[in-house]
Structures are given as structure tokens and as C-alpha cells.
A = this chain, B = another copy of it.
Amino acid sequence: VEAGEAPAALVMAYDEASLLATLRAAIPRFDEPLGIGDDAAILDGHVLTTDMLVEDIDFTSAIPIEFVAAKSLAVNLSDLAAMGARPRAFLLSLGLSPSARSQFDRFVAGIAGAAARYEVGLIGGDLSAAEKLIISITAIGTAPERPLLRSGARRGDRLFVSRALGGSVAGLRLLQNGWRISTTGVVTPPAAFDYGVREVATAAMLRHVAPEPECELGPKLATMPEVSACIDISDGLSIDLARLCEASGVGAVIDVERLPPLPGLPETARALGVAVEAAVLHGGEEYALLFTSTLRESELSQRCGRPVFSIGRITERPGVFIDRDGTEEPLEAKGFDHFRA
């Protein structure tokens, strides 16, 4: 794999989507107004979402198990945040491998820390034996009065991301290249690296192993009628934007100049072996929010009480394009798919 290219497992295929479509077609939703298709389902004031993480598919033993545990909760809370829901409680099912059993106290410490931080209670669970560690979480949030959906983007809206991108896939690349990170956030490079590189490497690895769901921002955006659509970037900006556009029946143009890379990443990219633009456009597991609004960047940042980044605009023309010096090119939707490898 060429330095900076997405690893094989991160190349998108539509296989997961087609399997999900088969399920959706076969099983009716009965009385639900919303269901699979947005980041979470809404049921009588509750927002529900579920995610399963499997060892050696979704994570490896290169990541300390405390991080894996906390991240497994965080990715679910990110789905709630994308709909503007405040997290409330979760259910946890574990398939425990022998090695995971021996590290069970560390797993518990990791997930308990995340639960305390986001104030979500554990209300149920199931344990099973397994050959590989399997973590399946269902998170429940309180639905806002006006949930954020993927389908609300309109022509002329500005396109926003909630924070700088590219760090997670850069951190994954570093892990694959032999870098390690301790539970206290101390990184160990496989060889001698200068201090400046190490600082960015730490930030990138933390983005990957300890992503922060936008639990404050999501509910805040849901209170603003000027925010029209939202999704979290779990599989990559290009693919998640394509999903938002498809759900809204619109297109989008990204201004390449406005894309915010993880600070320091462009300057250290060569040393770290990361292709910055690909990391920003296609890197998964960011858990930033991608949303649309009629508001300007300055006004929206002020209302959010923190910076958010306008990266382009919504168009009537379908499809996602990228504007490089005034020339618009189609942007291929690449991202994570479990069934391509």
C-alpha cells in the first residue's frame, strides 16, 4: 500500500448498503415514522442506535482495550448527536474472547469512564463467550423537538464540518506502521522521530483511538431552525456527504481550499506517511458532524460558542463535486466498508 493511500479495508464498496437494503425490504417497520436510513431511529421520544465492533475487523489489539471500550460507546453517542439527541442510557453485549476476559477490568474501566463523562447509564446487557472480542452497544437518547435528519439540505445551504478532519485515518496509519499509544496518551514511535512530528502523531492517534462524539453540539444544532440537515462522519466525508445529498435530493460542491485538516498534519504528512487530502476527504471514524445551514460560518460559530467550518455549498445539481481553483470535478465516494477487503 502506497504511503497515504487508504488501506484496503477503508475502500468503499456498496455491499453493506445492499445487505441492509435486503433487510429493510424484508422486514416491515410497522408504525415507525423513521427508521433505518438516518443515523438512528426515533420511537416515541427516544432515539435509538446500535453498533457492533469486532476484533481484527473494527479494531486490533494494537489499541489498548480501555480505548476500544470507550470508543465503542462513543461511536453510538455520535449517531445520537447527529440527530440532535442527548444521550441517556445504553445496553452492552459482549462476546468475550479469552484475552478479553483476562483484560475485563481494563475494559470495564474504559467504558465506565466514557459512560461517566457523557452521563449515560448502563441499563442492560448480555455476555457470551467468543473467539474474538465482540462489542455490541445500543444507545438511547432523548429526542429533540425537531430531530436533525439527513434529508433536510436545500440548494443554497452552506455545508459545515464541526472540526478539523484527517486525524483518525492518519492515526490508524501510524498504528499500522508500528506506532503505539499508551492509556495515558504517551506515544511510542517505531523509530526516532523529532518532537514536532511526535506532537501531531499524538493528536492523530488520539483522534483514532479516543474519538469524541459531538454530544453538546448536536443538540445545540437541533435547536436552530436554520440548520437543515446533519450526519456524522463515520465512514468518510466523501461517502457521508454523498449519503446526505442523496437523502436530501440535492448535490454539493466542496471548496478544497476550505477543508480543515488536523492542525500540523500538512506540515508533517511526508514524515508520517499520510496523504493529507485523501485523509481529509475519505478518512473514516472521524465522528465530526457534517451539517448544512443557511447561516454564515461566523454567525453559526458564534451561536455554537465554538468554531465550525464552512467547507462548501449545497447545489440543485445532484452529485458531490470538489472545486479546485474554480474547476469542479466529481468527488468519488470512498470510505469504509466491512465487506470489501
Binding stretch for chain B, among A39-47, A186-194, A243-251, A307-315 = A39-47
Establish whether residues A127 and B338, one from each chain, have CB atoms under 8 Å apart when the complex forms: yes
Closest partner residue, chain B, to A88 (CB atom)? B43
B-chain residues with CB within 8 Å of residue A24 when the two chains form the complex: 122
Q: Residue A108 contacts which of B26, B128, B129 (CB distance < 8 angstroms)?
A: B26
Is A268's CB within 8 Å of the partner chain B?
Answer: no
B-chain residues with CB within 8 Å of residue A50 when the two chains form the complex: 91-93, 124-126, 136, 138
Closest partner residue, chain B, to A339 (CB atom)? B129
Is A271's CB within 8 Å of the partner chain B?
Answer: no
Taking the closest CB of chain B, its distance from the CB of A108, in whole angstroms, is: 5
Binding stretch for chain B, among A27-35, A150-158, A174-182, A225-233 = A27-35
B-chain residues with CB within 8 Å of residue A20 when the two chains form the complex: 125, 127
Taking the closest CB of chain B, its distance from the CB of A111, in whole angstroms, is: 7
Q: Residue A134 contacts which of B45, B54, B123 (CB distance < 8 angstroms)?
A: B54
In the complex the two chains form, what is the Cα distance from A94 to B136 in whole Å?
9
Establish whether residues B128 and A32, one from each chain, have CB atoms under 8 Å apart when the complex forms: no
Is A1's CB within 8 Å of the partner chain B?
Answer: no
Establish whether residues B128 and A30, one from each chain, have CB atoms under 8 Å apart when the complex forms: no
Establish whether residues B54 and A127, one from each chain, have CB atoms under 8 Å apart when the complex forms: no
Is A105's CB within 8 Å of the partner chain B?
Answer: yes
B-chain residues with CB within 8 Å of residue A28 when the two chains form the complex: 115-116, 121-122
Is A23's CB within 8 Å of the partner chain B?
Answer: yes
B-chain residues with CB within 8 Å of residue A57 when the two chains form the complex: 95, 128-130
Establish whether residues B89 and A123, one from each chain, have CB atoms under 8 Å apart when the complex forms: no
In the complex the two chains form, what is the Cα distance from A128 to B35 in whole Å?
19
Interface residues contributed by chain A, number (CB under 8 Å):
68
Is A197's CB within 8 Å of the partner chain B?
Answer: no
Establish whether residues A104 and B19, one from each chain, have CB atoms under 8 Å apart when the complex forms: yes
Is A201's CB within 8 Å of the partner chain B?
Answer: no
In the complex the two chains form, what is the Cα distance from A127 to B19 in whole Å?
8
Is A58's CB within 8 Å of the partner chain B?
Answer: yes
Establish whether residues A91 and B138, one from each chain, have CB atoms under 8 Å apart when the complex forms: yes
Is A220's CB within 8 Å of the partner chain B?
Answer: no
Q: Residue A89 contacts which of B41, B54, B115 (CB distance < 8 angstroms)?
A: B41
Closest partner residue, chain B, to A40 (CB atom)? B124
Q: Residue A36 contacts which of B88, B119, B123 (CB distance < 8 angstroms)?
A: B123
Contact (A95, B54) CB under 8 Å given A16-B127, A46-B46? yes
In the complex the two chains form, what is the Cα distance from A29 to B132 in whole Å?
28
Establish whether residues A48 and B109, one from each chain, have CB atoms under 8 Å apart when the complex forms: no
Closest partner residue, chain B, to A38 (CB atom)? B124
In the complex the two chains form, what is the Cα distance from A120 to B24 in whole Å?
13
Establish whether residues B108 and A54, one from each chain, have CB atoms under 8 Å apart when the complex forms: no
Q: Residue A52 contacts which of B26, B31, B94 (CB distance < 8 angstroms)?
A: B94
Closest partner residue, chain B, to A42 (CB atom)? B123
Known: A49-B124, A50-B91. 5 other contacts (CB 8 A): A32-B121, A36-B123, A41-B123, A41-B124, A57-B129
**6 smallest A-B Cβ distances: which pairs?**
A41-B123, A136-B136, A52-B93, A30-B121, A138-B138, A26-B112
